Amino acid sequence: MKKAAAYWDASALVPLCIHEDASRLARTHLCRFTPVVWWGSTVEVHSAICRMLRAKEITGNERQGAALRLLMLSRGWNEILPSEDLRELAMQLLDQYALRATDSLQLAAALVWCGQRPAKRNFICGDWRLSEAAEALGFSVLELKEAMKQ
pLDDT in tens, 32-56: 999 999 999 999 999 999 999 999 9
Q: What are phi and psi of 21, to 5 degrees?
A: -55, -35
Sheet bearing 122-125, strands edge to edge:
78-80, 33-38, 4-8, 122-125, 140-143
pLDDT at 2: 77
Q: Are the C-beta atoms of residues 36 and 8 closer than 8 Å to each other?
A: yes
Q: How confident is the model at residue 150 (pLDDT cuts 50, 70, 90)?
A: very low
Stated pTM of the model: 0.93
Instruction: Please write the tens of the pLDDT for every residue from 99-136.
Output: 999 999 999 999 999 999 999 999 999 999 999 999 99
Report, at the CATH architecture level, how domain 4-149 is classified.
3-Layer(aba) Sandwich (3.40)
Answer yes or no: is pLDDT of 28 > 70: yes
Are 11 and 125 in contact by the 8 Å Cβ rule? The answer is yes
Sorted by where each begins, the domain ranges of the chain are 4-149
Strand 4-8 and strand 122-125: pairing? parallel
Output the pLDDT for position 66: 98
How far is it, in rounded angstroms, from Cα 83 to Cα 108? 10
